[in-house]
């Protein structure tokens, strides 16, 4: 639709204009980045500028243009501002007349501290190019220079882009994709230099907390080595880990030569939290191959204006999630027990999400744009995360291949093959090509596996795949059993609200609704915190009277409680395992 309303000539201009961006932040506390785009050597009567609506790595239309304000255009040979109009939410068109040197100014409000947005305040500036820069359609392949103007002399600039000789604050990007793929950190952050496999790396940390840079660097070096060994080398000249320490944030965004990480500032001392951080590092680093270079066909060339649908995110994100658990284990950052406990936790998450039986993981991948990041009260009933199920499907594939080939082959062998066929050549893969590659390593037809567990919603048969390794999955019930009701609640502002009702559970069948305010069981007040303890007073088959406010109306429901449900699952060793099982297990985990 945007294209149809454009009056721009269909043949792109043949002369090559130069494109230069300047990013200033004279009043950082205002949260406003001031961007200037200078286009020199323009020879057409109109100039189109567009803002990306999403950023690669995060599959949601985020409408970055909503933060853009104060758009203004002038030409060097014209005393009056040039005329312009908007043709769509993210498309500006300028009537350039005879002007060849055009300056566009705009400001972008930046007050969202996440790896995929922009943040500017009195302490620092951070931007993700997709959320800041307008691009000129047809000129995405042209090289771009960016000059950053820090507001204070002691603010430095860190980015994976190379700086221009003699101009330390001017950086060069080979094209718009590279610009978008290169986050910027501006401020008084700490930068630590280190080497891994003979290549220079940086760890830049913004914010205060209990992170120990020496320990992080030592463990990161091990992760780099293990992952490089998996893929056969490092496909970059230098790499930047950019870490934001925040109050409660968690997230990462992968790039080709860098990653942005956001982690709780005091989340580095406790062993489990530190392990979770190293998993985040392993995850985003793994992406420099899987998704940044080994890309689904539809992401071979980014379309910044609309959704790009693929059924393969279960591999891009899920397999990466499996390896973010495997890699720190192989790097000896944690032990076998921690690794198996980590897998058990993920299995628990899957098995306690009813949506696993409703949405295939290939469909979850395809619908990422409208579902994963847009959760509502029904999400757990109707969908499954492609991260979570993709991780566990990858786990089963790894066990399947290992068991078939006595650990001489594994999912590890799929990765360098995908790298050689697609990643190194930067050619996108189709879902069929991905499956062909996995089948070639497994050396068997996996139609049945894919039909059931990737394109279907059958329960993952953990025991079948664990058994050759002398392992089994146990459903663990709490010590004091809780009869099954099927709700989750939350206390907010002193009110106890039901936030999730499991479909077909006793509560769901009775008519309890997400949003209902929890009041009483059998006439006695109950809070979210007390709910589980209060239910322990009853037995499966007992009927309770649950009182709630539903749409402001006082309602009491008679609910017959169901059978006890496992509250968690645990991978356990089979007693008296055979020598063959012991050999398999040792081959996998030692």
Q: Which residues of the chain form contacts with Zn ion (CB under 5 A)?
A: 317
Entry field: residues in the chain: 590
Full DSSP string of 304-358:
TTS----S-HIIIIIIHHHHHHHHHHHTTSS-HHHHHHHHHHHHHHHHT-GGGGT
CB nearer to Zn ion: pick between 48 and 391: 391
Smallest distance, Å, CB 59 to Zn ion?
Answer: 11
Minimum CB distance to Zn ion, residue 253 (Å) = 8
Comparison of 317 and 346: residue with beta carbon closer to Zn ion: 317
With CB atoms as reference, the residue minimizing the distance to Zn ion is 317
Residue 174: C-alpha distances to residues 141, 171, 254, 562 (Å): 7, 10, 18, 61
- Rounded-to-integer distance, Cα 556 and Cα 541, Å: 18
Q: How far is the CB of 422 from Zn ion (least distance, A)?
A: 18
Distances (CA, A) of 118 to 233, 265, 406: 32, 19, 49
Beta bridge pairs of residue 553: 550
Cβ density class 475-510: b for 16+ within 10 Å, e for less: eeeeeeebbbbbbebeeeeeebbbebbbeebbbbeb
Query: CB neighbours (10 Å) of residue 97?
Result: 12
**Nearest distance from C-beta of residue 283 to Zn ion, angstroms:** 5
Residues 230, 237: Cα–Cα separation, whole Å: 18
- Nearer Cβ to Zn ion, position 24 or 298? 298
Task: CB nearer to Zn ion: give 145 or 385.
Answer: 385
For Zn ion, give the closer residue by CB, 219 or 317: 317
When the beta carbons of 317 and 391 are compared against Zn ion, the nearer one is 317
List CB contacts of 203: < 8 A, sequence separation 6 or more.
191, 192, 194, 213, 216, 217, 220, 241, 243
Minimum CB separation from Zn ion for residue 1, in Å?
32
* Residue 58 CB, nearest approach to Zn ion (Å): 9
Least separation in angstroms between residue 49's CB and Zn ion is 30
- Residue 348 CB-half CA count within 13 A: 17
Smallest separation, CB 320 to Zn ion (Å) = 5
Closest to Zn ion by CB, 116 vs 330, is 116
What H or E segment, with its residue span, contains residue 286?
helix 271-286
Q: Which is nearer to Zn ion, 42 or 241 (CB)?
A: 241
């Amino acid at each position: 639709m945007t294209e149809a309303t454009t009056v721009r000539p269909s043949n792109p201009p043949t002369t090559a204009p130069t494109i230069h961006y300047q990013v200033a932040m004279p009043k950082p506390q205002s949260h406003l980045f001031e961007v200037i785009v200078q286009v020199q050597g323009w020879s057409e009567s109109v100039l189109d500028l567009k803002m990306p609506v999403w950023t690669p790595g995060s599959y949601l239309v985020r409408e970055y243009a909503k933060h853009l304000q104060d758009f203004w255009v002038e030409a060097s040979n014209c005393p009056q501002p040039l005329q312009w109009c908007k043709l769509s939410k993210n498309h500006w068109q300028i009537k350039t007349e005879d002007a060849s040197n055009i300056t566009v100014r705009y400001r972008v409000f930046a007050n969202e501290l996440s790896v995929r947005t922009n943040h500017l305040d009195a302490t620092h500036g951070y931007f993700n190019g997709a959320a800041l820069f307008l691009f000129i359609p047809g000129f995405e392949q042209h090289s771009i220079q960016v000059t950053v103007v820090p507001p204070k002399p002691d603010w430095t600039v860190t980015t994976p882009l190379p700086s221009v000789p003699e101009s330390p604050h001017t950086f060069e990007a080979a094209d718009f994709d590279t610009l978008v793929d290169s986050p910027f950190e501006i401020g008084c952050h700490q930068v630590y230099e280190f080497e891994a496999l003979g290549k220079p790396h940086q760890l830049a940390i913004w914010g205060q907390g209990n992170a120990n840079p020496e320990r992080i660097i030592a463990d990161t070096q091990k992760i780099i080595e293990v992952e490089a060994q998996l893929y056969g080398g490092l496909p970059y000249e230098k790499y930047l880990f950019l870490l934001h320490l925040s109050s409660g944030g968690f997230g990462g965004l992968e790039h080709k030569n860098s990653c942005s990480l956001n982690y709780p500032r005091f989340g580095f001392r406790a062993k489990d939290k530190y392990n979770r951080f190293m998993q985040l590092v392993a995850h985003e680093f793994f992406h420099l191959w899987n998704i940044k270079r080994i890309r689904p066909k539809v992401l071979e060339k980014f379309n910044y204006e609309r959704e790009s649908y693929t059924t393969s995110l279960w591999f891009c994100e899920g397999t990466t999630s499996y390896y973010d658990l495997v890699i720190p284990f192989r790097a000896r950052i944690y032990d076998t027990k921690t690794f198996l406990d980590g897998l058990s936790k993920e299995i628990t998450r899957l098995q306690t999400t009813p949506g696993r039986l409703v949405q295939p993981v290939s469909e979850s991948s395809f619908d990422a744009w409208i579902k994963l990041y847009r959760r509502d009260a029904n999400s757990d009933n109707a969908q499954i995360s492609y991260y979570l199920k993709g991780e566990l499907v990858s786990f089963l594939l790894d066990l399947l291949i290992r068991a078939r080939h006595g650990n001489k082959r594994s999912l590890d062998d799929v990765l360098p093959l995908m790298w050689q066929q697609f990643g190194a050549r930067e050619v996108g893969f189709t879902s069929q090509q991905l499956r062909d590659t996995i089948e070639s390593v497994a050396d068997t037809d996996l139609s049945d596996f894919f039909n059931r567990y990737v394109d279907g919603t059958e329960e993952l048969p953990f025991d079948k795949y664990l058994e050759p390794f002398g392992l089994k999955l146990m459903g663990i019930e709490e010590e004091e059993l809780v009869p099954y009701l099927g709700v989750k609640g939350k206390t907010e502002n002193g009110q106890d609200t039901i936030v999730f009702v499991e479909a077909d559970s006793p509560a769901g069948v009775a008519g309890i609704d997400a949003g209902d305010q929890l009041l009483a069981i059998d006439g006695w007040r109950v809070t979210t915190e007390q709910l589980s303890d209060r239910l322990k007073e009853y037995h499966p088959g007992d009927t309770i009277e649950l009182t709630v406010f539903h749409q402001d109306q006082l309602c009491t429901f008679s609910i017959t409680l169901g059978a006890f449900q496992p509250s968690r699952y645990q991978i356990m060793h089979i007693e008296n395992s055979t020598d063959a099982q012991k050999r398999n297990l040792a081959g996998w985990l030692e």
